[in-house]
Amino acid sequence: MCATKSSKRAVSKVMHGPIGLLLGFLILLGPALNLGCGIGDALEPINNVANQIEAAIAAIDLNSAAWQEIVRDLQEQLPEVENDLKADIDEVLQRGIKATTVSVIASGDFVSRRVQEALNRLKAEITGKEPPVYPPAFLGFTPDALDVQRVLDDEVNAMTFYGYDFDRRDPAGKTMELWMLRDGAYEDCSFALTMATHYEGKVNLAANGVQLSLGCTLMELRWDGEVVSTLPILQPDRPQPENITVHPRSITFRPPHTRGDKDFSGNGPFVILEARLAGADFVLGGARSLQAQVWMFAEETESDWTTAVGTSDWEKIYTVEPGYRIINILTPIICEDSYEDTNHSEDLICPGTGNLVQCFRCVGDTGSDNDAGHATKVSVDFAPVVITVIKDDPYFRQ
């Protein structure tokens, strides 16, 4: 026979306790399992409830994909159930629906297992046993690996993961934790972990979140000290050096007058030339620019030995493309040559292939009385220079 009013009142006290929510599922599933005349039979006496829970769990195993339809249909058949219980049942229903709606990987089987866990906890409470503790259920990360390059390029500033019961606390009262393996040691990064809902969490990778470095290889989600899921960290490829050919600009230098009068008087001069190349604008691991200087010696071959000699200041002759640095110079960095001037025009002194300088363009004697320190000069046309450059990525200079 059906339950009496007194038995319903007794059960109502249970329904208002901590297991009320789970009993709601039992009430919903009772008619579908042909348990008798309704709510009363399902709950009278209370020591038969455990067996009915077992039957409900078995029914879910048989038809897990239709759990939403079953809950909705049976919810409509409960006009006599107290309003707060119906609200609890609706909350559980919506909890499962949201999990399946937000994450396409949350299947009906996945959610139905959460219902089975709830029934198992209910059965344990009713039979006076310690309810089983279930960890939050994890479905997956989006994307399924952390690509550091996308973070560096500002394409990704968070990782999202989905599951169920992320708001569940372990016996110590803690929720999900985030740990990262960096340089062979784990560090707690839970400060960067947020739970938008019980079925969706995020890992903050922005400036105020997890700071990635070359030593980072793995992330772990933990609950009650156990690993729930792992996320591999994919490091970007190291920039590779490349050899490029550049064309430095020319420089001109007039050595100062140092001896005799300023007129070579058709006596030479005998000229010695030297050009040097070096890096400039140094940064960690290289240089941003190339600089050059030239030394010129011009001496009259007789008489009062009129002389002009000196070294130019370093002049910047090439700057690498922004975002790169120079790590090597592959061409010769010094070039020397000499000759004796025999005319009053510009002389072209070309050392030959494979040298730093393509040509020295020199003026020694001009036929005037104001050569040394004024008309005497050299212009240096550099040959193409081969340098090794590499992308200057701060991430790899940590």
Q: What is the pLDDT of residues 263-296, one digit of tens each?
A: 999 999 999 999 999 999 999 889 999 999 999 9
8-state DSSP, 376: -
By the 10 Å C-beta count (0-12 exposed, 13-18 middle, 19+ buried), 233 is classed as buried
Half-sphere exposure for 182 (CA within 13 Å, toward CB): 11
Q: For strand 226-234 and strand 216-223, is the pairing parallel, antiparallel, or unpaired?
A: antiparallel
pLDDT digits (tens, 9 = 90+) for 210-252: 999 999 999 999 999 999 999 999 999 999 999 999 999 999 9
- Average pLDDT of span 323-328: 95
pLDDT digits (tens, 9 = 90+) for 350-396: 999 999 999 999 999 999 999 999 999 999 999 999 999 999 888 88
End-to-end CA distance of the chain: 77
Query: Given this model, what pLDDT does residue 383 score?
Result: 98
Q: Which two tokens stand for residue 347?
A: 């002389």
> What is the residue whose two structure tokens read 């026979």?
1
Measured CA to CA, the distance from residue 253 to residue 275 in angstroms comes to 11
Query: Given this model, what pLDDT does residue 347 score?
Result: 96
pLDDT: is 106 or 287 the higher one?
287
Task: Please report the domains of the chain, with CATH numbers, ordered by start residue.
Answer: 5-126 (no CATH), 137-234 (2.60.40), 242-391 (no CATH)
**Average pLDDT along the chain:** 81
pLDDT digits (tens, 9 = 90+) for 34-77: 444 444 444 444 445 466 566 666 666 667 666 566 655 544 54
Measured CA to CA, the distance from residue 163 to residue 198 in angstroms comes to 8
> What is the residue whose two structure tokens read 């690498």?
320
Percent with pLDDT over 90 in the chain: 56
